[in-house]
């Protein structure tokens, strides 16, 4: 697992949105690495900046948002320094992204097959017929039972699960070095969700692809990822391998996140949520952004915390890391 060369290195990435009220620092200096064959999770509440982080890697931040600093290295090459034309050669071919709601992220008036074939034709310079053959085989890979019918369908004719699979197929179609999956299971009901997680695990085993999974659901992340970065209010607050995070979370926010997952079989255990809500990203609280919601917060937390390595490969952005697990 992991241990190979880094495929993606994100260093001090910052993406800001100017608004009438001030600058929203949606992504504020995050760093993480995805190694060859590794699956890394980016987890956090909605609005914490995880989707913006993904779009920043693809350089698809919607206006007026702008990447204001940092580096996104794909096998050592900074994507932020590429021309737009060069970047177009990266998107879909070397980094592909699947989006959370395949109903709105597919073009409603184009056949699924054409939408997948488009990228293949663009990057592999195949004829339409050859591309369609690839579409069919890719749809088979993601476990679609009648790929020809699905390829001929329009998005609204498919079920949610099928659409998500087709979305996966679209991302996989050009054999990218890195796949980014934004909330791959969120729009689905539990059974389909479980099927899709199985599929993603299979794909990971078979293709050995590096991927970045973005989710608010630690359960999904735990199923798929070797390492996880916990994001809060635009910053990564804890970063480690998944087992350590699950067994001994050190950041109070991660602890809260774990405690708010309902567990089947634990009778009448009261769910402990996190008090308060995500802070305003225009005027974030001074120092540690989690401090207003943190039960361990004191005066020291008014100063900016530094990312500290507690043990090898386990980083925490906190003045008072929790000891002895959640």
Partner 1 sequence: MSMRRYILRRIPQLIPLCIFAIVINFTLMHLAPGSPIDYLVGGGEVVPKEYIEKLTREFGLDKPLHEQLLIYILNVFSGNLGTSYRYRTPVLQVILERVPNTLLLMTTSIMFAFVLGIFLGVSSSKRPYSLVDNLASTISVLGYSIPTFWLGMLLIIVFSVYLRWLPTMGMSTIGAQLEGWEAVIDTLRHLILPATTLGTTYLALYTRLTRASMLEELRKDYITTAWGKGLDDRAVYYRHAFRNAMLPVTTVLGLNLGLMLTGATLTETVFSWPGIGRLVYDSIITRDYPVLMGIFIIVSITVVLANFIVDILYAILDPRVRYK
Chain contacts with partner 1 (rule: CB under 8 A): 55, 58, 60, 62, 88-93, 96-97, 99, 101, 104-110, 115, 118-119, 122-123, 154, 156-157, 170
Q: Which CB sits closer to partner 1, 95 or 317?
A: 95
Q: Give me the DSSP letters along 265-322.
A: TSTTPPP---SS-PPPSSSPPSSSTTGGG-TT--GGGGSPP-EEEEETTEEEE-SS--
**Preceding amide of 64 cis, omega within 30:** yes
Q: Give the Cα separation of 42 and 22 in Å (integer).
A: 26
Tokens of 25: 């620092």
Q: Which CB sits closer to partner 1, 58 or 322?
A: 58
CB of 122 to partner 1, least distance (A): 6
CB of 133 to partner 1, least distance (A): 18
CB of 132 to partner 1, least distance (A): 16
Q: Which CB sits closer to partner 1, 7 or 257?
A: 7
Positive or negative torsion for Cα 219, 220, 224, 230 = negative
CB of 107 to partner 1, least distance (A): 4
CB of 75 to partner 1, least distance (A): 17
**Tokens 């749809």 -> residue:** 139
Q: What are phi and psi of 285, to 5 degrees?
A: -60, 145
For the stretch 44-54, what's the b/e string if a residue is b when 16 or more beta carbons lie within 10 angstroms of its beta carbon? bbebbbbbbbb
- Are 78 and 11 contacting, i.e. CB atoms less than 8 angstroms apart? no
Q: Which CB sits closer to partner 1, 75 or 300?
A: 75
CB of 195 to partner 1, least distance (A): 23
CB of 93 to partner 1, least distance (A): 6
Report the chain's terminal Cα–Cα distance, integer Å.
Answer: 26
Q: Which CB sits closer to partner 1, 170 or 237?
A: 170
Q: Give the Cα separation of 70 and 82 in Å (integer).
A: 14
């Amino acid at each position: 697992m992991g241990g190979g060369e880094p495929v993606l290195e994100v260093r001090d990435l910052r993406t800001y949105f100017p608004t009438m009220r001030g600058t929203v620092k949606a992504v504020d200096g995050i760093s993480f690495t995805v190694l060859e064959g590794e699956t890394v999770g980016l987890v956090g509440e909605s609005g914490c900046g995880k989707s913006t982080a993904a779009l920043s890697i693809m350089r698809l931040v919607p206006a007026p948002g702008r990447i204001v600093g940092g580096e996104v290295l794909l096998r050592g090459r900074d994507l932020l320094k590429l021309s737009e034309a060069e970047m177009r050669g990266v998107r879909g071919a070397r980094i592909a992204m699947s989006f959370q709601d395949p109903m709105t992220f597919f073009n409603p008036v184009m056949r699924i097959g054409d939408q997948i074939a488009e990228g293949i034709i663009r990057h592999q310079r195949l004829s339409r017929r050859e591309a369609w053959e690839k579409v069919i085989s890719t749809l088979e890979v993601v476990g679609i039972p009648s790929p020809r019918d699905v390829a001929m369908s329009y998005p609204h004719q498919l079920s949610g699960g099928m659409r998500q699979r087709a979305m996966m197929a679209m991302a996989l179609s050009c054999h990218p070095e890195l796949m980014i999956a934004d909330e791959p299971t969120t729009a689905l009901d539990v059974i389909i969700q479980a099927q899709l997680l199985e599929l993603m695990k299979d794909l990971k085993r078979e293709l050995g692809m590096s991927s970045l999974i973005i989710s608010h659901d630690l359960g999904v992340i735990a199923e798929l990822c070797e390492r996880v970065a916990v994001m809060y209010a635009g910053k990564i607050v804890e970063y480690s391998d998944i087992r350590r995070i699950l067994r001994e979370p050190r950041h109070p926010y991660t602890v809260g996140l774990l405690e708010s997952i309902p567990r089947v079989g634990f009778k009448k255990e009261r769910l402990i949520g996190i008090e308060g809500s995500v802070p305003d990203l225009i005027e974030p609280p001074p120092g540690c952004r989690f401090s207003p919601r943190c039960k361990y917060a004191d005066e020291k937390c008014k100063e900016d915390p530094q990312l500290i390595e507690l043990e090898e490969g386990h980083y925490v952005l906190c003045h008072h890391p929790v000891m002895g697990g959640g």
